[in-house]
Structures are given as structure tokens and as C-alpha cells.
Amino acid sequence: MRRWIGFILHLAMIVILTSFGSYTLVKETSQNVPESLSVVNGTEHSVALEFASEPSTPIISPPFLGNSYIGFKEVLAFKESQGRYDVVNTLGYMGKYQFGLGTLNLMGVYSAQAFLNSPILQEKTFDTNIARNKWILRRDIKRFVGKRIRGVEITESGILAAAHLAGAGNVKKYLRSYGKNDVSDAYGSSISHYIKKFAGFDTSTIKQKRNAKV
């Protein structure tokens, strides 16, 4: 009797397992979740944004304009603000080309709100700043263009882009120290990086001007 009962129970288990079909055991594994997607205490982890204000204009990639001056402006603007006129970053730099109020004051622009609300004024300000930096760096442009510093060819557009980033005075120090005095902004962009990234554009259409004003 015991053998028959054991045989019947064994047969019943086989029938039950067969009726459910095949099954798979899932092994629990740990996954490395990217920091930007991690959840802490039920809340999504937010990534710090470079901009302090939400822009109302859409993100537009710079058009392909070759090595023209307009191409230089648009590529630099895309690096600075993704081409947005109304953006203000976390350090207070404003507009498409990310100017500080102190630099704007030097060129005769005193209203931050007027500057942010006027694309035409922002374009004029950028051109004015290029003319101003060309004058300040005129001797260094003549001396270093065509040479190489740490393997990177020095061009006028690279120098002017770096001056936009770090100021003409810091670019002078970089060139005259042959790359030893390299500085970076708060977001990690360096003079050497800008000199390399923005090399080879034609910036000859803007003439140097002492104490240029908008």
C-alpha cells in the first residue's frame, strides 16, 4: 500500500509539472545604473544644468558654413550656448555668445535685459569684441600665427576664440609662455582647447579697432 501511495504521488507531481510546461529560473543580478538615471529615496537623481534659465528658443545645430567668418561665429556660439540668444548660464554670462556684464560695459552696453532681448545687439557686440581683441593681440597675432605650440598650429581665429573664452590678457600669457600658462573656465574649457578647436577660420573681415564700442 505504501509503495502504491508513493507511486501515485510521484506520478501526480509529474503530471502537474508537465501541465505548466517548461519553466526557467531567473537569477537575480545587480546592475550598474548610470548616475543620471539613478533613483534615491524615490526621487530621480537630477543632473546639474549649465544654464540658469530655461531658454524659450529651440536648440538649433550650427549650419555648415565652411571656414567663413559667419561659420566661425555660429560654431563658437553653438559651443557657448547652443546658439540661444536668451540664455543665462549659472555664472551670469548672457546670450548667444555668453558675455559677462563687465565685458559688455567696456563696449558700451549697460543693460543686461536690453542685451538679452536684442539678437541684433548681440551680433554687433560680438563683432565689436573681435575688433577690440584684435587690437589688443595685434602683436601676438603677427608673431605667433603659423607657429606651433605643443603640436597645435596657431591661427588668428583660434587666438580670437581663446580671447573670447579667457580674455585677451590670458591669451597673451599663454602664447608668450609657449603654452605653460594655460587657464580654463569654470566648466573646464581651456585656452589650448579653444585655439585648437576654432583654428583655420577666416576672421579677416573684422578689422582691429582700439577701444571698440558697439
Are the C-beta atoms of 140 and 160 separated by less than 8 Å? no
Least confident of 47-51, 121-125, 141-145, 170-174: 47-51
Higher-pLDDT residue of 11 and 187 is: 187
Share of the chain above pLDDT 90, in %: 65
Are the C-beta atoms of 164 and 156 separated by less than 8 Å? no
Looking at every residue in the chain, the average pLDDT score rounds to: 80
Are the C-beta atoms of 199 and 158 separated by less than 8 Å? yes
DSSP letters spanning 133-193: HHHHTHHHHHHHTT-EETTEE--HHHHHHHHHHH-HHHHHHHHHTTTSS--B-TTS-BHHH
pLDDT of residue 32: 40
Bridge partner list, 99: 94
pLDDT of residue 167: 94
Provide the sign of the torsion angle of the four alpha carbons 148, 149, 152, 156, taken in this order. negative
What is the pTM for the complete model shown?
0.71
Share of the chain above pLDDT 70, in %: 70
Q: Which domains does the chain have, with CATH numbers?
A: 69-197 (1.10.530.10)
pLDDT of residue 163: 97
What one-character DSSP code corresponds to residue 35?
G
**CA 210 and chain centroid, separation:** 30
Predicted confidence (pLDDT) at residue 4 exceeds the cutoff of 70: no
pLDDT of residue 186: 83
Per residue in 83-142, pLDDT tens? 999 999 989 999 999 999 999 999 999 999 999 999 999 999 999 999 999 999 999 999
Predicted confidence (pLDDT) at residue 49 exceeds the cutoff of 90: no
